[in-house]
């Protein structure tokens, strides 16, 4: 079923479960957006905008702190620094209910990368991530937050 409606000067076309809408945007901003989506290999603006909306909603989900979320933590460290491996393992074992999986990668003779999947309430995921990132010997750490996917279509 296809129909159009005018509501608060927003033109919406509904086709099945997809809605089409227009966006007013500054030309220079649109040009930069188009360059960025080309670099990221998007086939069209719609897919890029859908991904931006999903990312915005995931951030909102984290801010509202309702329900469980997922985090992917990446750590870069020198395994020869102090007892870093033992410290990282101790923290992970203390929170074994939240640590879903880990992947350890040998980058060279000294440096390792660890990717850790963490599940829990937003404050729990952040607390675990920050406690691991702050360990002496961790050169870099980054938490990427995401959803459990239940609310994302």
CATH at residue 76 = 3.30.70.1150
Distance CA 151, CA 29 (A): 30
Residue 39 lies in a domain: no
Q: Residue 88: inside a domain, yes or no?
A: yes
Number of domains in the chain: 2
Say yes or no: 76 and 139 in one domain. Answer: yes
Q: Do the domain assignments include residue 60?
A: no
Q: How confident is the model at residue 152 (pLDDT cuts 50, 70, 90)?
A: low
pLDDT at residue 5 above 90? no
Tell me which residue range forms the domain holding 4: 1-32
**pLDDT of the residue at 79:** 94
- 132 domain-assigned: yes
Asked if 20 and 73 sit in the same domain, the reply is no
In this structure, is residue 58 part of a structural domain? no
Residue 51 lies in a domain: no
pTM assigned to the model:
0.67
Q: Which pLDDT score, from 0 to 100, does residue 126 have? A: 92
Residues 141 and 82 reside in one and the same domain: yes
Nearest to 116 by CA among 71, 147, 49: 71
Q: Is the domain of 27 the same as that of 79? A: no
Q: Is 142 in the same domain as 73?
A: yes
Does 63 map to a domain? no
Same domain (yes/no): 84, 139: yes
User: Do 77 and 26 share a structural domain?
Assistant: no
What is the distance between the alpha carbons of residues 151 and 85, in angstroms, rounded to a whole number? 37
Query: Does residue 55 form part of some domain?
Result: no
The pLDDT of residue 2: 41
Average pLDDT over residues 101-110: 97
Q: Is the pLDDT of residue 137 over 60?
A: yes
Q: Which of 125, 87, 118, 91 is nearest to 102 (CA)?
A: 118
């Amino acid at each position: 079923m296809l129909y159009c409606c005018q509501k608060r000067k927003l033109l919406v076309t509904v086709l099945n479960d997809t809605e089409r809408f227009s966006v007013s945007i500054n030309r220079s901003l649109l040009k930069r957006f188009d360059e960025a989506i080309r670099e990221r290999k998007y086939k069209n603006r719609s897919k890029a905008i859908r991904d931006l909306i999903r990312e915005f909603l995931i951030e909102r989900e984290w801010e509202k702190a309702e329900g469980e979320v997922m985090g992917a933590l990446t750590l870069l460290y020198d395994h020869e620094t102090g007892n870093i491996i033992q410290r990282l393992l101790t923290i992970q074992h203390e929170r074994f209910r939240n640590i879903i999986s880990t992947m350890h990668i040998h980058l060279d003779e000294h440096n390792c990368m660890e990717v850790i999947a963490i599940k829990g309430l937003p404050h729990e995921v952040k607390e675990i991530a920050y406690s691991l990132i702050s360990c002496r010997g961790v050169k870099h750490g980054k938490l990427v937050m995401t959803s459990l996917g239940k609310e994302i279509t």
